[in-house]
Amino acid sequence: MQEAGPGGLVVVVAADGPMSTYESFTLPDPPRLILDIPDATHAIPQPISARPPLVTAVRSSQYRERPVKIVRLVLDLRSMLPFQVATAENQLRVQLGTSAGPPAPAAPVAAPAPATAPPPAAAPAPVGKVTRVDLQSVRGRQRIVIGTSGRVTYNVSEISDPPSLVVDVSGAQIDPAGARTLDLRQVASPLSRLQATQHQAAPDPVVRVVADLRNPTRYEVQQTPSAILVELLPSAPAPTAQAAAPPPPAAPVVPAAPVPAAAPAPRPPVAPTRTVAAAPTVPPAPTGRLSMDFKDADINNLLRIIAEVSDKNVVAGGDVTGKVTVRLVNVEWRQALDVILKINGMGWEEDGNIIRVAPLAKLAAEQKAREDARVAAANARKTEQQVQVQIEPLVTNVISVNYATAGDVVKNLDRLKTPGRPDASIAVDERTNKLIIKETKDTFEKMETLLRRLDIPTPQVMIEARIVEATRSFSQSLGVEYAFTTNALITRGTAGHNLTPISVFTSQAATGIFPTAASNPPIALSFPASGTGVSGIGLNFGTLANNFLLGARLSAAESENKIRTLSAPKIATLDNKEAEIRQGTQVPYTTVDSSGRTVVAFQDAFIRLKVTPHITNDRRVSMKVEAERSFAGDRIDFSGGFAFKLEQRKASTNILVSNGATVVIGGLMQTTDSVAETGLPWLKNVPVLGLLFKSHSIGPNDKIELLIFLTPTILEEPRLG
């Protein structure tokens, strides 16, 4: 570090090789100047002990190892100072303050060959400014834009190794914040880096713009009142050398530099004529992913980079402004665009091959406007339809209801009535079971379609019942067996192969409890029987698959006096409608009437079945069965009369059987006593003496079981609309 006058300081950074690139920026709180030197390895001895008056501390380190090695130098300043950075051979010179002389010249460049005489010595014009340095893509070409204000001149020179363009803008200064470096190595561009610095501060200020080229490139320069435009032309094969033309000079020919207005008008700048080999084409854009590392980069410049990578057209209005510091490595371009725009309160929308960038508030307002327009259009269409409905004529039609009750279907049709038409109506003619509908044509067609789907015939079920009294041995041979435990017994019986599984959905009855059926019950399902000392109601349920075999067995058993058929009724009922089968007798008993006389009255002893069938979608029949039996028991004699004990059995259940299968209900038991008398004919009937010629024998108790066979058969298939 060297002091340069009372208010200046020069910091020299030496390296073992050329330092052609660097990046510098300042931070205000606390004031610091930071220099990043890429492609360098840190080897500065630590700590740095120098403490000049303008600097409180100097720090250096290996800031980054990957993907590019970067050495960072930090100068902690006592206050913010103007600074200038320049490269010279293997050194990087940083000048702080304003009183020091200009830094050493930068790396040597080819001597420019001006086409016109230098400007005449005259009083220097007021100092101009370089306002911006950008890279634009115009009609497939890359253009370097150097924004200027005031009267400035320029000079363009070339460096062959490495290939570079150097634009010196004389009579201009650049704001330290605008002196920056654009790293374009990750972008499809003829440039790898674009750098702008204050090359010379006094006596004649010069701003130098260095464009590092990937390959030698032809160019054209044009100056406008507000900018210097350097347009990079596509590479072309070298022109054929003319025989008489002398060989080109070693130094490239550069375009003529414009002069101030006081001088004679210079010739327009012309691109230098060079003989070079055919340069390779610009590398293709990356396939959807990018990497970038910028500090305080203008958002519009980043949008141009993203446009190149994405191969999309990007449109941004004047309200898209802002700066961003970003470092992204191998990121998908859509994700990078989202992040960069959100930082500045921006958003984007894609329409085909065009990406439009605008503030989020503006995009939200436009979206809301589109939604409001859509809702308004929908409301307009709805209003138009309502108006059309209001003026549409009504038609009157009469529809016959064949199977349902007309009054019952009106409530379903009312839901389809045209809104806003109080003159539309549905009337019911109960005598003919017809509907009189006054509606629009479209609404009537909807009502008619719904009615045809609802007005279908209710299927019917024929229930055949056979009530028999059977001996215990016959019921056992049929496969319905008594239970001797509190749990259901699964049995096959001596004829169990005739039984098929059933599904029983137990329903609690007032006089007993059904056990729950197994999920896959085999053969038959038995319930606790009466007289066994267990809790139960004495009913058994099972199904018989072979009705022909059942009829044959019952006929054979009846001929052998093993069973006695009490009744064989048939009854047909509608789906989900209850059918009742009842058969019985009257049992006498004595009672006293209102006048005090003893009279004989009767009470019913009967067998009653209530069956409610339901046809399932798979053409089986689910039946809710309520079975009840009451019969006379022991006789009770008392003074003045007699009565019989009336015993009752009752149960209810749900059974699922196949169409045409037979359900058997057993377990309704009755015990009978048999008394036999034997003797000589006629003599046994003689009073007193007949006792000598006859004998009495009391047989064993015989248990008679009442069996009820139910066979449901579907009579009519349901017709679906």
Instruction: Check pLDDT > 90 for residue 115.
Output: no
Q: Lowest-pLDDT range, 259-273, 560-574, 600-614, 630-644?
A: 259-273
Q: What's the average model confidence in pLDDT over 433-443? A: 91
Domains in the chain: boundaries: 1-107, 392-455, 462-575+621-626+650-714
Quickly name the fold that domain 392-455 has: Ribosomal Protein S8; Chain: A, domain 1 (3.30.1370)
Three-class SS string for 9-65? EEEEEECCCCCCCCEEEEECCCCEEEEEEECCCCCCCCCCCCCCCCEEEEEEEEEEC
Strand duo 206-213 + 191-200: pairing: antiparallel
Q: What is the mean pLDDT of the chain?
A: 74
Confidence of residue 564 (pLDDT cuts 50, 70, 90): confident
Strand duo 206-213 + 641-658: pairing: unpaired
Instruction: Check pLDDT > 90 for residue 529.
Output: no
Quickly name the fold that domain 1-107 has: Immunoglobulin-like (2.60.40)
Instruction: Check pLDDT > 90 for residue 608.
Output: no
Q: What is the pLDDT of residue 108?
A: 40
Percent of the chain with pLDDT over 90: 15
Q: What's the average model confidence in pLDDT over 391-402? A: 89
Instruction: Check pLDDT > 80 for residue 452.
Output: yes
In terms of Cα–Cα distance, which of 299, 623, 668 is closest to 461?
623
What is the DSSP secondary structure assignment for residue 454, as one 8-state letter?
H
List the alpha helices (DSSP H) in 326-422.
Answer: 333-343, 360-391, 406-414
Instruction: Check pLDDT > 50 for residue 577.
Output: yes
Instruction: Check pLDDT > 70 for residue 517.
Output: no
Q: What's the average model confidence in pLDDT over 21-38? A: 79
Helix (H) or strand (E) holding 206: strand 206-213
Mapped onto helix, strand or coil, the DSSP state of residue 184 is coil
Q: Which residue has the higher pLDDT, 113 or 95?
A: 95
pLDDT digits (tens, 9 = 90+) for 332-360: 999 999 999 998 899 999 988 899 999 99
pLDDT digits (tens, 9 = 90+) for 145-167: 998 988 889 999 888 878 888 99
Instruction: Check pLDDT > 90 for residue 578.
Output: yes
Report the residue count for the chain.
721
Q: What's the average model confidence in pLDDT over 23-47? A: 80
Q: What is the pLDDT of residue 681?
A: 77
pLDDT digits (tens, 9 = 90+) for 273-319: 333 333 333 333 345 788 888 888 888 888 988 888 888 899 998 89
| Winning range, highest mean pLDDT, from 12-21, 292-301, 494-503 | 292-301
Q: What is the pLDDT of residue 671?
A: 62
Q: What is the pLDDT of residue 50?
A: 63
549's CB contacts (< 8 A; 6+ apart) are: 498
Confidence of residue 675 (pLDDT cuts 50, 70, 90): low
Confidence of residue 624 (pLDDT cuts 50, 70, 90): very high
Q: What's the average model confidence in pLDDT over 432-442? A: 91
**Buried b vs exposed e over 500-526: b needs ≥16 C-beta within 10 Å?**
bbbbbeeeebeebebbebeeebebbbb
Instruction: Check pLDDT > 50 for residue 672.
Output: yes
Q: What is the pLDDT of residue 244?
A: 38
Instruction: Check pLDDT > 90 for residue 397.
Output: yes
Same fold: 1-107 with 392-455: no
Q: Which residue has the higher pLDDT, 69 or 547?
A: 69
Token look-up 């050493």 returns 104
Q: Lowest-pLDDT range, 10-19, 134-143, 500-509?
A: 500-509
Q: What's the average model confidence in pLDDT over 639-659? A: 84
Whole-prediction pTM value?
0.39
**Rounded Cα gap, residues 464 and 460, in angstroms:** 13
Q: Which residue has the higher pLDDT, 256 or 397?
A: 397
pLDDT digits (tens, 9 = 90+) for 121-144: 444 456 788 988 888 877 778 889
